[in-house]
A = this chain, B = another copy of it.
Amino acid sequence: MTEIAIPEGSPFGLANLPYGVFSTPGAEPRVGVRVADSVVDLAVALGDDTFARPSLNAFMAQGRARWAEVRRRITELVSGDVPDAAVHPLASVTLHLPFEVADYVDFYASEHHASNLGRLFRPDAEPLMPNWKHLPVGYHGRAGTLVVSGTEIVRPNGQRKAPADAAPTFGPSARLDIEAEVGFVVGTGSPLGASVGTGDFAERVFGAVLVNDWSARDIQAWEYVPLGPNLGKSFATSVSAWVVPLLALEAARVPTPTQDPEPLPYLRESSPWGLDLDLAVEWNGQRVSRPPYREMYWSPAQMLAHLTVNGAASRTGDLYASGTVSGPEKDQRGAFIELTWGGKEPITVNGEERTFLQDGDEVVITATAPAADGSRLGFGEVRGRILPARAAE
């Protein structure tokens, strides 16, 4: 038996207990929970086959009462001795995408980000579209290109056309960017024809992850009218390996910023699901931004209510992301196109000038949040390094 040592102030202590999927040499991927710098194999520790699977989906589909029960059991277990066979050092395991992604939706819920992008993409128009304060604007992304943190990101090829060019050219994106986001994972879905009210958020959503929505701004700018982003986003989207349970985020709840005009009734919340998460973005090891999630205009409960208000089905494994988290200050912007104002104001990273990502650059996004025991819990990082584009055929 092993007692897992949890250092004072660990971001992965008993108030967190995030879930992931891991493997050890010669064994199949299975569900684990992170405790400090260890991974506890839940199929072994709890003797429950739900966790002897390569994704969280089966467990997530079982619903909130079961999520709460398992969390209690894990807390009891980890507070005492855990069977040796169930404990692996984090450094010895491989982490996998923690859930099978059903549909992937990306919102655009930061007023600061939407305003900045509006100014950059449409300099001659009002930065916020007329609909923006009436509904959480979002679009569907490509579920099949979600990858786990650590996956290397190949610079995409595509069509780019600067305003002065007569015609588009084909080649590697020259304006490769990040978007630091928070994603929400649906545990229990809702059938076609049903809508999920804002009050049902915690019944439906299992947990949260960090997302890096890599974005090729030159490809995006050329393609996105009138049907929205596509190839400028679909080459890869990275998610953290650990899903922080919504049950661990109660202490992080805060009101959303004042919503004016008042949203339509289906978007109102009796107890808002704003979240006081502090994100941090590191570019080649240097912290370049600290996006504050508490500034997000629309809450994740409002996002899910909007997504389903037309009767769209939701499914176990649906992931919806917040859109770039940007605060009002320059050093709170969650995308490099904002930090460098469209590439016109380079920043210095480890003594080198940067506007967009260069080959070999690495970005790591992390986050912390207030936990129930007064500590701060951590989200697993979402990390990615840029590889050179493939030769165009």
Chain A residues packing against B (C-beta within 8 Å): 102-103, 105, 108, 118, 121-122, 129-131, 134-135, 137-145, 147, 154, 156-159, 161, 167-170, 189, 192-193, 195, 197, 216, 219, 222-232, 234-236, 261, 264-266, 306-307, 309-315, 318, 390, 392-393
Contact = CB atoms under 8 A, between A and B. Distances in A.
Given A131-B225, A140-B230, A156-B311, 6 more contacts: A134-B161, A134-B167, A137-B227, A140-B141, A227-B229, A231-B310
Contact of A315 (B144, B170, B192, B315): B144
Contact of A139 (B154, B227, B315, B393): B227
Nearest to A192: B145
A312 B159 contact: no
Contacts of A195: 157, 393
Contact of A235 (B168, B311, B318): B311
A306 to B, nearest CB: 7
The listed residue with most B CB atoms (<10 A of its CB), out of A134, A227, A315, is: A227
Given A131-B222, A157-B310, A309-B158, A170 B231 contact: no
**What's the number of copies of this chain in the assembled complex?**
2
Nearest to A158: B310
Contact of A312 (B135, B235, B309, B311): B235
A393 B228 contact: no
Contacts of A189: 144
A197 to B, nearest CB: 7
A393 B230 contact: no
Nearest to A194: B390
A223 B131 CA distance: 6
Nearest to A221: B131
B226 A121 contact: yes
Given A234-B312, A312-B235, A223 B159 contact: no
Given A311-B390, A393-B266, A103 B144 contact: yes
Contact of A137 (B145, B223, B313): B223
Contacts of A309: 157-158, 231
Contacts of A307: 231, 234
A160 to B, nearest CB: 11
Given A225-B129, A228-B228, A168 B311 contact: no
Contacts of A158: 309-310
A313 B167 CA distance: 27
